Structure 1
Amino acid sequence: MIKTLLFDFGDVFLNLDKAATFRELNKLGLHDFSSEMIRQNQLYEMGKISSEEFVDFYLQRLPENSSKTLINAWNAILLDLPEHRLQFLQQLKAEHNYQLILLSNTNDLHISWVKQNIESFAEFKSCFDAFYLSHEINFRKPNADIYEFVLEEHQLQPEEVLFIDDTKENTDAAKSLGIYTWNIDPKQEDIVNLFNIKAELF
């Protein structure tokens, strides 16, 4: 029996344009993400380096650009939070049938943009019993330790948790720990249809 709903943020609630960041960085002169860049991105997502260090890293490789231009390109992935998804979440909160937890791979620049540009963010965040962002807890998906952290922190049984994420690598990792999963396809599926699509679990 599912007692806890564990949600990703991007492309589950918040719409993303995942190609946008590289597209915008490409305009600034970046032609490929090197292994070193991917490593820096992951360190930043885990809160192991600051926003200043992160931006400086890219400025050294794209010196013709300003910090502001780079930050705008980095944040280009972020779009909007549809009202119908917020209403769905608020209904879940009001019914008190499930513990609601958010678990997102994100970083300081992205969440700062969200706070400034998504008017409903405070309402959205208030719906959750716990709100975990990778850069704040120093773990990232799909590493097993991030799921183990949530399970231990809330004394959860894996078989009583449903984890919803748009990245298969992340849901596969959770599934390997015994957690139920829904690898949502944001192009064809919507979180508001959770109880229809995963009816067999409820």
Structure 2
Amino acid sequence: MILHEKKNIIFDLGNVVVDIDLNITMERFRKLGFKKEGDFLNKYQQIGIFNDFEEGRVSAGEFVEGLKAYMKAGVTDEEIIEAWNVIIGDYKEDRIETILKLKETHGVYLLSNTNELHVEVCENKVPLVGSLNKLFNKTYYSHEMGMSKPNRNIFEALLKDAGIKAEETLFLDDSKANVEAARKLGIESWLVEYPDQWVPRMKALIKER
């Protein structure tokens, strides 16, 4: 791929822009008595109340109350929220610098399956620029859009809202299902198998332009 052939780049958030570790949250949940996390959560898909939260059908308060039904008596809201948010790791400056460099010549967008609690943690801790809203031309979150990847409607909604064309766009995501869904719409896509994988590849393309 030649970078100047694309006008726009869409980034996933977790394990593409920011580190996440679902295993830490699962371990914290188990300590709170939650024994069925495998029925609801995996690295790429969420089910039941977790999916409802991710698509904005329940509020943060309703989500926390719903989880209490699966946990031992006496667990507090604060314990649940802390366990849920510990999944969020760090931003690496090299990734942020690369996105900023791309932003000089391309539209850069964020498309994330996420929820209001995680956005509160992620939004304003970005190195160099301070916030995701300043890093990207626009951010798109599943809980605000009422839909999630890999459903094609979320990609179509972004393309329409941003006024961009699929064939002029590159998409980066750590989920094979999401990447395949984007490709079916004519969006060239990279599967990111570990968070820093895409950075040297993108830097090489930047040098070639």
Q: TM-score by structure 1 length?
A: 0.88
Question: Partner residue of 1:46?
Answer: 55
Question: Partner residue of 2:161?
Answer: 153
User: How far apart, CA to CA, are the structure 1 residues paired with 2:74 and 2:47?
Assistant: 21
Q: Structure 2 counterpart of 1:75, which letter? A: N
User: How far apart, CA to CA, are the structure 2 residues paired with 1:100 and 1:111?
Assistant: 18
Q: 1:124-180 CA distances to partner (integer Å, 9 max, x unpaired)?
A: 431311111111121211111100101111232211110000111111111111110
Q: 1:23-54 CA distances to partner (integer Å, 9 max, x unpaired)?
A: 11111111223359822111101111100000
Question: Partner residue of 2:9?
Answer: 5
CA contact (8 A) 1:162 1:179 kept: yes
State the 1:123 CA deviation: 4.2
Range with greater deviation from structure 2 (24-33 or 139-148): 24-33
User: How far apart, CA to CA, are the structure 1 residues paired with 2:207 and 2:193?
Assistant: 17
User: How far apart, CA to CA, are the structure 2 residues paired with 1:71 and 1:152?
Assistant: 34
User: How far apart, CA to CA, are the structure 1 residues paired with 2:40 and 2:183?
Assistant: 28
State the 1:60 CA deviation: 2.1
Q: Secondary structure at the match of 2:18?
A: coil
Which of 2, 16, 19 matches 1:15?
Answer: 19
Which of 68, 93, 101 matches 1:91?
Answer: 101
Percent identity reads 31
Q: Secondary structure at the match of 1:79?
A: strand
CA contact (8 A) 1:85 1:192 kept: no
User: How far apart, CA to CA, are the structure 1 residues paired with 2:116 and 2:7?
Assistant: 30
CA contact (8 A) 2:19 2:195 kept: no
Range with greater deviation from structure 2 (25-34 or 134-143): 25-34
Q: Secondary structure at the match of 1:132?
A: strand
Which of 160, 164, 168 matches 2:172?
Answer: 164
CA RMSD of aligned residues (A): 2.4
Q: Structure 2 counterpart of 1:38, which letter? A: I
Question: Partner residue of 1:183?
Answer: 191
State the 1:12 CA deviation: 0.7
5 Å-filtered alignment, 1:48-197, equals 48-62=57-71, 63-93=73-103, 95=104, 97-115=105-123, 118=125, 120=127, 122-186=130-194, 189-196=197-204
Q: Structure 2 counterpart of 1:122, which letter? A: G
Q: Secondary structure at the match of 1:126?
A: helix
Q: Structure 1 counterpart of 2:90, which letter? A: D
Structure 1 residues 199, 175: CA separation in 2 closer, same or farther (over 3 Å shift)? farther
> Any stretches of 5+ residues in structure 1 without a counterpart?
none
Q: Does 1:32 align with 2:36?
A: yes
Structure 1 residues 6, 56: CA separation in 2 closer, same or farther (over 3 Å shift)? same
User: How far apart, CA to CA, are the structure 2 residues paired with 1:12 and 1:119?
Assistant: 13
Structure 1 residues 73, 101: CA separation in 2 closer, same or farther (over 3 Å shift)? same
User: How far apart, CA to CA, are the structure 1 residues paired with 2:13 and 2:79?
Assistant: 25
Q: Secondary structure at the match of 1:38?
A: coil
CA contact (8 A) 1:3 1:98 kept: yes
> Any stretches of 5+ residues in structure 2 without a counterpart?
none
